[in-house]
Structure 1
Amino acid sequence: MDLDRRQFLLATGGTLAAGALPGLAQAQNLETARIVVGFPPGGTTDAVARRMADKLRGNYAKVVLVDNKPGAGGRIGVDELRRNPPDGSTLLLTPASIITLYPHIFTKLPYTTDDVSPVSTACIISFAFGVGPAVPASVKNLKDYFAWVKANPAQAGYATPGAGTPPHFLGMLLSKESGVELNHVPYRGSAPGIQDLVGGQIPAMSSPIGDYLPHLASGKLRVLATSGPKRSRFTPDVPTYAEQGFPALQIQEWYGFFLPGKASPEAVTRAADAIRAAVAQPDVAEAFSQLGFEASAITPADMAKAVKAESAAWGPLVKRVGFTPEA
């Protein structure tokens, strides 16, 4: 990912989230709106959606529901959005990769970027590489980890939330850049991977940073590197990939709201204003922080630019690591 693009996203997010929202109170509320989530209840995307639904209820629509449409790694949620009228009553909350990365790794998708209208981001996440009790306590950074893997090649497995996810590409890129062969072990989501990491069934994992936070204080898990342009405030003592000699592994992801592709500018603006007002609430930022996310809202125009830039960045990276597109 382009560093300037990420810094732009963070900077505009911080500015716009705190901005005034003239005219929002005067807009007529919808009777009912729903937030489609392409993942099961209980996951991080679902948690973000439910927090946002609480804040949009009464400010955007009288009733705001979260509608989980899990399956196909989030693709079903996008397909559900495009089937609905573009009147603002149906929004999609999704990790950016479903829109920006998937076209590069799946040869057949039921949607294109024309089927969605960017509205606003809600939060930004960094990824982390962590190890569990299967790795000796003497391993404190990536250099130590690679030395240990070389001495113990049977322990070169690392978990991810799934094949073709950003954490998977980080793992592939880390293996390629380091020259150390790492073996990918895909899980069906973060939760089972973290469970096996804590239990010692898998030695390492590449996953969103928030997945590790509940286990750091107890010492059950250790984070060796994070993927942001600077150290994460959640793990300030942990150096980034770049600090450890891997500048190509500066990858973050945002969670964003979309309307159907044919939504009017007025519908997009109204939804964006409501989302921006919700993200600006201190308790929302605190709730996101507990998940390892940074609250961030940007304008529809800036989000459209981010989608375009990120889509362009993923293509070369997919080719670089030799990932074979799937059907």
Structure 2
Amino acid sequence: MTMQRRQFLGTSAAIAGGGLSLLATAVRAQPLFDTVKLYAGFAPGGTIDVTARRLAEKLRDVVAKSVVVENRTGAGGQIALSALKTAPADGQTLAISPMSMLGIYPHTYKKLPYAPLTDFAPVSQVVRVDFGFAVGTMVPESVRTLKDFVAWCKANTRDANFGSPAAGSVPHFVGELFGRAAAIDLKHVSYRGSQPAIMDLVGGQLAAASGPVGEFLQHLPAGKVRLLATSGPSRSRFAPNVPTFAEQGFKDIVHDEWHGIFAPAKTPPEVVERFSVAIRKALTAPDVIAALAQMGLEAKGSTPAELAAMLKHDTERWAPLIKTIGFTADA
């Protein structure tokens, strides 16, 4: 057993005996590894990528001498999680994922290359996020509300579409619910993250997009993207002038989501705990909180047990809802 390993196990035992009051002690311990890889399943520049890179900066020299973010995009986040599943359970590989890929995909895809509840070890929640629904340059500037957009779609059925960061995800579900409630044929286009969809919004190749509120914020000042609604139970503090879906008559569209960090199943519990403690510590740093807020993200950590309970709860909550409306990744 190496000196670093013995020191780490001693620190972990102290945490177990003394609770989170020893957070600072744990974080000051020597790094466990030379390099840790953190997989992100979506394109650079989006909320997942930004969150991963901010965490990597804070975890460097804490859990490892180097924490490297790898964007393993494709299949709506499934490629990154598949890579995590097959990685050695030695603590040197992590992944960041929205809840969708773990709690919703089992109900929207006929077959997944991983089992969310058994192939991964929950580490910590990292952020919570509301979703926004926006239009771009294809849609006239006179369209400023959901009601306006519905009228435009009915007059322009060929161009009535919306993009989302992944088929079968919460943003896809939100857009699908909206189309059904508004009685319009709103065709879905899947992307490898929200930013590629937003680029098509700006370029006039896509009418609308559903994605994390923060993904749209940097594009609003130029006026080429207009945020029509947000999905939370109340207005987003990051876009306070934008009414919610519920305020505009779509009372069943109230959804948010968490993003979490996971390790391969069978990763030693003491290693998972060390990572969780370090992540929770990082999420209290003012510069991290401020950087995430710029992307419309609320920094929020959790214990491994809390994240496991959240995933189980959401998996069970979404099953009947998805079955009732017949939503699939192909919708």
The TM-score by the shorter chain falls in which range?
Answer: 0.7 to 0.9
Aligned-pair distance for 1:24?
A: 1.3
Q: Does 1:145 align with 2:154?
A: no
1:258 pairs with 2:262? yes
Give the direction of change, closer, same or farther, for the CA distance of 1:298–1:247 in structure 2 (3 Å limit): farther
- Amino acid aligned to 1:312: E
How do 1:15-164 and structure 2 match up within 5 A? Answer: 21-25=23-27, 27-32=29-34, 33-112=36-115, 113-164=117-168
Identity, % of aligned positions: 49
Other-structure match for 2:184? 180
RMSD: 2.3
Three-state SS of the structure 2 residue aligned to 1:168 is helix
Counterpart amino acid of 1:258?
F
Q: Per the alignment, do residues 20 and 170 of structure 1 end up closer, same or farther by CA in structure 2, a change over 3 Å counting? A: farther
Letter in 2 for 1:56: L
Change (3 A) 1:26 1:131: closer
Q: Structure 1's 149 and 83: CA in aligned 2 closer, same or farther, altered over 3 A?
A: closer
Classify 1:183/1:73 alpha carbon distance in 2 versus 1 (closer, same or farther; 3 Å).
closer
Return the match for 2:211 from 207, 225, 237: 207
The TM-score, its normalising length taken from structure 2, stands at: 0.85
Instruction: State the TM-score, normalizing by the size of structure 1.
Output: 0.86
Partner Cα distance (1:40, 1:148) in 2:
30
Between 1:141-150 and 1:55-64, the stretch displaced more is 141-150
How many residues matched?
309
Contact 1:169 1:321 in 2 (8 A): no
Deviations 1:25-75 (A, max 9, x none): 454421222212233444432222121111001122222222333332222
Seen in structure 2, the aligned counterparts of structure 1 residues 153 and 118 have a Cα distance that, compared at 3 Å, is same
Letter in 1 for 2:319: G
The one-letter amino acid paired with 2:267 is A
Structure 2: 5+ residue runs without aligned partners? 1-19
Structure 1 Cα separation of the partners of residues 292 and 195 of structure 2? 18
Task: Supply the distance in 2 between the matched residues of 1:69 and 1:149 (Cα, whole angstroms).
Answer: 35
Judge which range, 218-227 or 314-323, deviates more.
314-323
Q: Could you report, residue by residue, the CA deviation over 1:131-156 in whole angstroms, capped at 9, with x for unpaired residues? A: 12332333222122223323333342
Deviates more, 1:125-134 or 1:156-165: 156-165
Shift in CA distance, 285/107, structure 1 to aligned 2, threshold 3 Å: same
- Counterpart CA distance in 2 for 1:159 and 1:71 is 15
Deviation string for 1:5-24 (max 9, x for gaps)?
Answer: xxxxxxxxxxxxx9872531
Distance 2:110 2:297 in 1: 31
Aligned partner of residue 26 in structure 2, secondary structure: coil
Greater CA drift, 119-128 or 73-82 = 73-82
Mark the CA change 1:300 to 1:162 in structure 2 (over 3 Å): closer, same or farther.
closer
Amino acid at match of 1:21: L
- Which residue matches 2:3? none
Q: Secondary structure at the match of 2:252?
A: helix
Structure 1 gaps, min length 5: 1-17
The letter of the residue matching 1:126 is D
Q: How do 1:226-245 residues align onto structure 2 when only pairs under 5 Å count?
A: 226-245=230-249
